[in-house]
Structure 1
Amino acid sequence: MTDAFPGLGTAHTVPELLALRARATPQGEAYQEWDAAAGDWKRLDWAQALARVQHFSRALATIGLPQAARVAILLPNGLDAMSVDQAVLATGCVPVPLHAIDNPGSIAYILADAEVSLLVVAELAQWERVRDAGTSLPHLQAVVVTQAGAPLPASSGPVQIFTLSDWLGRAGDQTALPPGPAPEDLAAIVYTSGTTGKPKGVMLTHANVVADVAAVLARVTPTPQDVFLSFLPLSHTFERTAGYYLPMAAGSSVVYARSVALLAEDLRNVRPTVLVSVPRIYERVHAKVLETLSTSPFKKRLFDAAQDKGWRRFRARQGLAPEPLGDAAARGGWARLLPWPLLRALVAAPLLEQFGGRVRVAVSGGAPLSPAIARCFLGLGLPLVQGYGMTETTPVVSVNTLDDNDPATVGRALPGVQVRIGENRELQVAGPIVMKGYWKRPADTARVLGADGWLSTGDQAEIVDGRIRILGRLKEIIVTSTGEKVPPGDLELALTADPLFDQAFVVGEDRPFIAAVVVLNPREWARLAGELGLDPARAQSLSDPKALRAALERMERRAASFPRYAVPRAVHLSLTPWTIENAFMTPTLKLKRNNLMAHFAAAIESLYTRR
């Protein structure tokens, strides 16, 4: 790859990318992290970031891990997560990023499956919960706890336990480092849920990562003056590529958000210029806006008028066909007569200030963006572009650009990436971004990755004028609005292992969390209702908070082996069985999901609106 990174030249591995960046702009601002003790932001330039990584690399070398050892990282976004990840890569080992809110059983499964040698956690309690999950971890040699000042028990058995300071203190300036990685070596094993219910480890190479970063850089073009706000978990490939390695290639600054709870405040204070997010963040802002407008018809008229006029202006600038006014006149009323500069000042500017007021590109990925959200933010001036990808493609396949932005599509394929439509309108992808395969699962790999290098995505699509439009899914995988993937069939099977639930139907596509509709076993319901002091014959008992809470608690126990995001957080209870006769089951006794979704549409909607 020649001149893949402007100003850096050529990099073939992620460690080379960091080294080249530190050499090119050593004093350029690299990272900011909130220092609670000092009450201020801690800053690192690129030279300091590289020095920190080198210190972590020497500490890692002292443990004596085997070549290409897997190192699991269970840390919140921040300097420690970056430093550990980079040190693992620099020493030829393989990061296994873990989701911070995943349940201990799922984490233990990943540690065992990936044959992890070292685990880095923020708190000792995280390790203790994983240890107590009951899964044998014969390959695990050591655990490093990053929380400062936490007393640790004496190491017992084969697993050594270190504090971060003690671990780093083992490293000497002359500590020899193992050879760095080659382009075809693994840069990560990222676990993603599949149809088997157990997560699969996607093997991504350094060549995969470097190719995808270079291709995204050519399309999104961040600069050293840009500021990213990092808040999506680094366990997500979308954040790793677009919010972590991409700014490294561009020399942009990354500020680590303090927490999700403080995200709105951080957006206003940090004032990022590049935003990498899943649809859920935009949904939250949109919902808050609508909640505020509900109390003021005057502001609602202004908002509708600004959104409609801005949307028409956006479509005209992009050369997209104008939409009919429809009921826009009724929505905006007299406010539609106001000039755009005034509507922009009264409506658009205050909304954009919630994102800091200087975002020049906002990338949405990980899950589909709803047309209503796109219309709102694009109409009011947020430069929002939608992309498409999957963990198996490192992950970005395509993305719109600021000057070629059709929000009804996911844009054009990145440079060097090939796409085509296969049987059943399935989108297929080939190119240097396609994974090496699934860890220790050759049969699963062969099912999606052909000998010719074409990857079957499982998504139906059409390609019109070079733009990709996603139509739906061939495989039954729920993708929440936060980008988490959940196999409904396996989860439903786990739930119905409880005698209380005769049948289960889980939902959550493009929603913020998983919910369930269940048919109760009459005898078990009568028993549970009696314990709760409810009359099982009264229909109102099915919606009683005590009954709902008890059902969710039992679901949580049955879904203990699933990632935490797959555990239902809301439930609708029913006593009417789903049968072939009432058109809710197929002759082979499979759920007719579309029929169930239509029948329970109001109930499902209430599960999300009442929270």
Structure 2
Amino acid sequence: MEKEIDEGTGGKPVHIVIALGFLKVIFFIYDLIVFLPFQIFANPSEKLARSGRVKARPVVDGDPTSPYRSVAVVDGDLDVMMYKGVDTLNKLWMENVGRYGDADCLGTREVLQVHKEKQPNGKIFEKWELGVYHWRSYNQVNERVNLVGSALASLGQKEKEHVVIFADTREEWMTTALACFKWNFPIATVYATLGEEAVEFAMNEVSADTIITTAPLLPKVYKAISRGVHIKNIVYFESQDPIEKTKKVTKHDTANVLSFEELLNLGDADEPTTMSAKPEDIAMTMYTSGTTGNPKGVMIAHSNIVAATCGQAKVLTVGTEDTFIGYLPLAHILEVAAEIVCQTNGTRIGYSSAQTLFDRAPKIMKGTKGDCYALKPTLMACVPAVMDRIYKAVIAEVNSGTLLFREMFLACYERKRARYEDGYQSFVLNKLVFNKIGKMLGGRIRIILSGGAPLSPETQRFMNICFCCPVVQGYGLTETCGGGTIADSDDLSTGAVGPPLRCAEILLREWPEAGYSPHNEVPQGEVLIGGGPVALGYYKNPEKTKEDFVFVNGKRYFATGDIGEFRPDGSLKIIDRKKDLLKLAHGEYISLGKVETTLLTCPLVDNICVYGDSQSDYLVALVVPNQKSVTEIAEKLGVSTSKWESVCHNKDVNKAVHAELVSYIGSKLSRVEIPTKIHLCHEIWTPQSGLLTEALKLKRKAIETEYKKVLSTLYGKN
């Protein structure tokens, strides 16, 4: 049957053409049946009207050089408090406890057993066997918050003096943070995966007496002390492994070392008699991973987070019936902001990690279920790098099926995409075709929030359709508490990051050298964010603060370095980044980020860094290839695949992969944007290797330094 191909079928087997034709007939009959019910109960024209309505406009009507604001506040004051008079995080937390006291707040999944599997190369892989989630109510969490805060005070912790949190995301992290907000102990957040030098830099800069960490990270803390870092108290979260938990932790000669349980035993569960934090006091000094040099400590005031929470909470429709899965680093503003918004709406938060998120996650024991299955979340936050992986995993699963299955899936996908963009729901396709994909995330997801970097329109639309829920892009930075924009869940378009939040305003600053101006036919320029979420500045770095936090017409803004444009409906679209723009020898500006975002959706690419020499007239690319896909190419070429490094260095494989990339790009990029040469990198880029930030963004300078000789060879300089 596979060989029965007719010239009139476009090269497809006859049985597939018949099946697709039959499917089109079914779609046509379905449309006739549901036309009237849709018009009455779910009018698509109303949905299209909500999608296209004006959401923001300039403060001065018709003047694109004036700040853009949400239409809800364009003629009044910015909205910077969720509740009147609740202007600090300790007040906000107590408001939440008063409203939702007995409701579930924070949940942790029980680890039943950890199996350690030794690999042929000697490495040990952990496989976890997990149980159910155990929950604490808002009242119960508040009791532990009081225990932690009073215990830290008994250890000598003073108001307005930093406590360092150097730990992975887990319930104890948030409990400790809430205690510090309540007792007015500023938190210095440090990524658990930061290198030793960066960790020591942050610890030295804030001069903290106390550090909160995890048992596996204690050796790093001890080493930092041996190198001169001054720490009096070390509190560690115990291992979740039942066996490791029973082992004694090595104490330190000079520092007081306590487990989290021991800290709780020192505390008092009663409410403190006074809570002294003021809106302008520092709540967090958040050390950004940074793409160059030492991490910068962003000083974030209580009022900044309160304002950002207000703006975000009034856009995201979440409530007490929702469940949020927390797995991104809490040292990242995206996760902190998302969790505080959830608490403000009485939403419960179940903790996870990237290692246990899905059934096929690295630490999930074969035959058992990941955290999404156990928790069945309705909300989750993602960074684009994670969503690109999900997208490629689904594509690989589809491509592993028969030709008939692939063609039928594609037909259903295109059908739903067209209906979605016309404002229609696809209840039957969701139930019969896409429901299985949705179960990867637990089967109940209704909103996915994307932030941290631009998400390709292709990936966004794919996630919208296959997971049967809106993928809402947001835009913000650590310096603006993640508060900038959030797209409307009714917006059916892709590529935009939404209108300004009610707590903020956005100004486009002209950059004439690259031709970006608010006076262009579509208003464009560097994105400047002003309003309540804008942070105090950089810790002990007045020069950088003065450079990035600027005044325009008497108002204070953060200059993001991103280039944006406003659509007619007032939604912002990020189109470039000043640091990623490169002028080649032919005089044209190239957006490296745009090229990378386009190529990242190719199944052959796991990661990519595009590079340009300003003295040359073409681009090159360093590609971390997908091992499975490229191995298949090598096998077809007759190349030995016993050593992955040799496969990557093979000229024929390199040439074939480059040809596939050029073919994949098609008309998506102009000729000058297509990399002329590529190099396949056999080693994966990770934050631990120093080539990615903790938000999985490229560290361009570090990559360029690491591959300096390779880049010279690609440009014929060796």
Whether these two folds match at TM > 0.5 is yes
- Counterpart-to-counterpart distance in 1, 2:84 and 2:688: 53
Hey, what does 1:203 align to over in structure 2? 299
Report whether the alignment pairs 1:403 with 2:508. no
Hey, what does 1:387 align to over in structure 2? 474
CA-to-partner distance for each residue in 1:478-526, whole Å, 9 max, x for gaps?
98999xxx9x99xx9xxxxxxxxxxxx99689x99xxxxxxxxxxxxxx
Task: Say if 1:61 and 1:176, in contact at 8 Å, map to a contact too.
Answer: no
Q: How far is the alpha carbon of 1:66 from its aligned partner?
A: 3.0
Hey, what does 2:388 align to over in structure 1? 283
- Counterpart-to-counterpart distance in 1, 2:440 and 2:230: 47
CA-to-partner distance for each residue in 1:179-233, whole Å, 9 max, x for gaps?
4311111111111144651110011111000000011011112111111011111
Report whether the alignment pairs 1:167 with 2:263. yes
Instruction: Report the 3-state secondary structure (helix = DSSP H, G, I; strand = E; otherwise coil) of the residue aligned with 1:280.
Output: helix
Which of 12, 30, 35 is equivalent to 2:87? 12
Hey, what does 2:549 align to over in structure 1? 449
Q: How far is the alpha carbon of 1:10 from its aligned partner?
A: 4.5
Decide whether aligned partners of structure 1 residues 225 and 577 sit closer, same or farther in structure 2, where only a CA change above 3 A counts: closer
Deviation larger for 104-113 or 229-238: 104-113
- Counterpart-to-counterpart distance in 1, 2:445 and 2:157: 43
- Counterpart-to-counterpart distance in 2, 1:135 and 1:550: 36
Q: Structure 2: any 5+ residue segments left out of the alignment?
A: 1-76, 113-129, 239-244, 360-369, 512-524, 582-591, 601-606, 614-619, 627-644, 655-678
Report whether the alignment pairs 1:84 with 2:84. no
- Counterpart-to-counterpart distance in 2, 1:288 and 1:79: 29
- Counterpart-to-counterpart distance in 2, 1:555 and 1:305: 37
Report whether the alignment pairs 1:371 with 2:471. no
Report whether the alignment pairs 1:577 with 2:712. yes
Decide whether aligned partners of structure 1 residues 300 and 33 sit closer, same or farther in structure 2, where only a CA change above 3 A counts: same
AA aligned to 1:312 is: A
Which of 312, 322, 344 is equivalent to 2:418? 312
Decide whether aligned partners of structure 1 residues 345 and 551 sit closer, same or farther in structure 2, where only a CA change above 3 A counts: closer
- Counterpart-to-counterpart distance in 2, 1:308 and 1:240: 37
- Counterpart-to-counterpart distance in 2, 1:174 and 1:550: 57
- Counterpart-to-counterpart distance in 2, 1:180 and 1:199: 30
Q: How far is the alpha carbon of 1:564 from its aligned partner?
A: 11
AA aligned to 1:439 is: Y
Task: Say if 1:70 and 1:114, in contact at 8 Å, map to a contact too.
Answer: yes
Report how many residues are paired.
515
Give me the TM-score of the superposition, normalised by structure 1: 0.74
Q: How far is the alpha carbon of 1:121 from its aligned partner?
A: 1.2
- Counterpart-to-counterpart distance in 1, 2:135 and 2:300: 30
Superposed counterparts of 1:167-246, under 5 Å: 167-172=263-268, 179-194=275-290, 196-242=292-338, 244-246=339-341
Decide whether aligned partners of structure 1 residues 561 and 360 sit closer, same or farther in structure 2, where only a CA change above 3 A counts: closer
- Counterpart-to-counterpart distance in 2, 1:558 and 1:33: 30
CA-to-partner distance for each residue in 1:571-596, whole Å, 9 max, x for gaps?
879668369xx6989xxxxxxxxxxx
Give the fraction of aligned pairs with identical amino acids, expressed as a percent. Answer: 21
Q: How far is the alpha carbon of 1:33 from its aligned partner?
A: 0.6
Decide whether aligned partners of structure 1 residues 454 and 506 sit closer, same or farther in structure 2, where only a CA change above 3 A counts: farther
Task: Say if 2:183 and 2:277, in contact at 8 Å, map to a contact too.
Answer: yes
Which of 322, 339, 342 is equivalent to 1:247? 342
Hey, what does 2:362 align to over in structure 1? none
Task: Say if 2:96 and 2:343, in contact at 8 Å, map to a contact too.
Answer: yes
Q: Structure 1: any 5+ residue segments left out of the alignment?
A: 319-338, 493-504, 513-533, 586-611
Q: How far is the alpha carbon of 1:285 from its aligned partner?
A: 2.2
- Counterpart-to-counterpart distance in 2, 1:298 and 1:578: 45
Hey, what does 2:572 align to over in structure 1? 468
Task: Say if 1:224 and 1:253, in contact at 8 Å, map to a contact too.
Answer: yes
Task: Say if 1:31 and 1:254, in contact at 8 Å, map to a contact too.
Answer: yes
Report whether the alignment pairs 1:263 with 2:349. no
- Counterpart-to-counterpart distance in 2, 1:440 and 1:555: 29
Hey, what does 1:127 align to over in structure 2? 218
Decide whether aligned partners of structure 1 residues 227 and 50 sit closer, same or farther in structure 2, where only a CA change above 3 A counts: same
- Counterpart-to-counterpart distance in 2, 1:541 and 1:316: 45
- Counterpart-to-counterpart distance in 1, 2:454 and 2:479: 17
Decide whether aligned partners of structure 1 residues 225 and 341 sit closer, same or farther in structure 2, where only a CA change above 3 A counts: closer
Report whether the alignment pairs 1:352 with 2:458. no
Decide whether aligned partners of structure 1 residues 165 and 106 sit closer, same or farther in structure 2, where only a CA change above 3 A counts: same
AA aligned to 1:26 is: G
- Counterpart-to-counterpart distance in 1, 2:545 and 2:558: 9
Decide whether aligned partners of structure 1 residues 297 and 562 sit closer, same or farther in structure 2, where only a CA change above 3 A counts: closer
Decide whether aligned partners of structure 1 residues 407 and 558 sit closer, same or farther in structure 2, where only a CA change above 3 A counts: closer
Hey, what does 1:326 align to over in structure 2? none
- Counterpart-to-counterpart distance in 1, 2:559 and 2:169: 31
Q: How far is the alpha carbon of 1:346 from its aligned partner?
A: 3.1
Instruction: Report the 3-state secondary structure (helix = DSSP H, G, I; strand = E; otherwise coil) of the residue aligned with 1:97.
Output: strand
Hey, what does 1:602 align to over in structure 2? none
Instruction: Report the 3-state secondary structure (helix = DSSP H, G, I; strand = E; otherwise coil) of the residue aligned with 2:448.
Output: strand
Task: Say if 2:332 and 2:695, in contact at 8 Å, map to a contact too.
Answer: no
Q: How far is the alpha carbon of 1:459 from its aligned partner?
A: 0.3
Larger radius of gyration: 2
CA-to-partner distance for each residue in 1:264-312, whole Å, 9 max, x for gaps?
4222221111121112332222212111221322221122122222222
- Counterpart-to-counterpart distance in 2, 1:551 and 1:83: 41
Instruction: Report the 3-state secondary structure (helix = DSSP H, G, I; strand = E; otherwise coil) of the residue aligned with 2:422.
Output: helix
Q: How far is the alpha carbon of 1:552 from its aligned partner?
A: 6.5
Task: Say if 2:81 and 2:87, in contact at 8 Å, map to a contact too.
Answer: no
Task: Say if 1:91 and 1:177, in contact at 8 Å, map to a contact too.
Answer: no
Give me the TM-score of the superposition, normalised by structure 2: 0.64
Q: How far is the alpha carbon of 1:385 from its aligned partner?
A: 1.0
AA aligned to 2:175 is: S
Hey, what does 1:426 align to over in structure 2? 526
Which of 41, 60, 72 is equivalent to 2:164? 72
- Counterpart-to-counterpart distance in 2, 1:216 and 1:309: 33
Hey, what does 1:607 align to over in structure 2? none
Task: Say if 2:377 and 2:442, in contact at 8 Å, map to a contact too.
Answer: yes
- Counterpart-to-counterpart distance in 2, 1:118 and 1:183: 24
Q: How far is the alpha carbon of 1:21 from its aligned partner?
A: 1.1
